[in-house]
Amino acid sequence: MNIIPPYLKNGDTIGIVCPAGYMPLKKITSCVTTLNDWGFKVKIGTTLGKKQVNYFSGNDEKRLSDFQTMLDDDTVQAILCARGGYGTSRIIDRINFSKFKKNPKWIIGFSDITVLHAHINKQFKIATLHAPMAGAFNNEGFKNEFVLSLKKALKGNALNYTCKPYVLNNIGTTKGELIGGNLALISHLIGSKSAYITKNKILFLEDVGEYLYNIDRMFVQLKRAGIFNELKGLVLGGFTELKDTKTPFGTDVYNLIYEHIKEYSFPFCFNFPVSHDKENVALKTGVDYKFSVQKNKVLLKEIRN
């Protein structure tokens, strides 16, 4: 059984940092206002809105220092990563988790933040929160069900989701620990000490901006690494803003993926609302779920003891 960090109560503080890509301070205004409206205080890290260093929100040392400070701050009960992008794997091996292990707090984000989810799951068996980040609050996004699912998660509500059936789904029901995140990052971590152990787990995957041939290559990598061999279930979310080569790859992304997984007996579903798009529900990684793929619907339900 993994460790579940304390859920948040009114007056608790959420720290906001950028451990990877740069984000202007003005783009977190809606997020900060909404978190305040939800009853939380906000502490803004040093990597928000400061001078951009090339692609990153500061050099490796500054991003490491900002995240480490929030991780060790006893007045901060959760850390929301403002955005993903790329860069967390450049600092992951230098983060000191010793204080975090004794006093866990929720680490929140998706995309490049998959590195943190996977590393914390593998090394410390502590639950984290794959969920919308600061940008999702903009343009009245704070009103939608996907951003509001983050509020439910932080306040300790069980997370239960349904979605429509899809023609390529594999029918079945299972229970297990939910892990996952961005396909490119999970593939990137294979062979490292941050790589997920997938035996007896339910895995969810999503991605954005990839060429179809690269999606194919990453699924080949996952298969060759044995990621699917003893999996209990597979949840496939959105694969958005995909690109194709001048000579077309010759299929759409879901049929491409299906060709790689159709041999497995575990239940799997497509088009689940976890993605880089608006449809991105909060999911507690390292927590047990029931996963049921039925003819008329798909159910992913958090199990409470």
In the predicted model, is pLDDT for residue 81 greater than 80? yes
Helix segments in the chain, DSSP class H: 29-37, 60-72, 98-102, 114-124, 145-154, 183-189, 212-224, 253-261
Residue 111 pLDDT class (50, 70, 90 cuts): very high
- Final residue of a domain: which of 154, 189, 220? 154
Do 247 and 264 share a domain, yes or no? yes
Same-domain status, 185 and 205: yes
Q: b vs e for 224-237, b when ≥16 Cβ sit within 10 Å of the residue's Cβ?
A: eeebbeebbbbbbb
238 domain-assigned: yes
Helix (H, G, I), strand (E, B) or coil at 93: helix
Residue 261 has pLDDT above 70, yes or no: yes
Residue that terminates a domain, selected from 129, 154, 179: 154
Domain end marker among 104, 136, 154: 154
Q: Please tell me whether residues 89 and 27 are part of one structural domain.
A: yes
Residue 231 within any structural domain of the chain: yes
Do 96 and 146 share a domain, yes or no?
yes
DSSP 103: S
Domain identity same for 99 and 177 = no
Span 199-214, pLDDT tens digits: 999 999 999 999 999 9
Q: What is the pLDDT of residue 49?
A: 85
> What is the structure's pLDDT at 102?
97
pLDDT band for position 55 (cuts 50, 70, 90): confident
pLDDT in tens, 184-239: 999 999 999 999 999 999 999 999 999 999 999 999 999 999 999 999 999 999 99
Q: Does 173 share its domain with 112?
A: no
Is residue 205 within 8 Å of 183, Cβ to Cβ?
yes
N- to C-terminal Cα distance for the chain?
A: 11
Residue 201 sits in a domain of what CATH number?
3.50.30.60
CA distance 40 to 38: 6
29 and 123 part of one domain = yes
The rounded percent of the chain whose pLDDT value lies above 90 is 97
| Mean pLDDT confidence for 163-177 | 98
CA distance 116 to 64: 13
Tally of structural domains, the chain: 2
Q: How high is the pLDDT of residue 53?
A: 65
Residue 114: both structure tokens together: 């998959």
Phi then psi for residue 93, to 5 deg, are -75, -10
User: Within this chain, do residues 120 and 174 fall inside the same structural domain, yes or no?
Assistant: no
Domain check: are 76 and 19 in the same one? yes
Q: Are residues 146 and 167 in the same domain?
A: no
Average pLDDT over residues 159-172: 98
Domain hosting residue 228, numbered range? 160-302
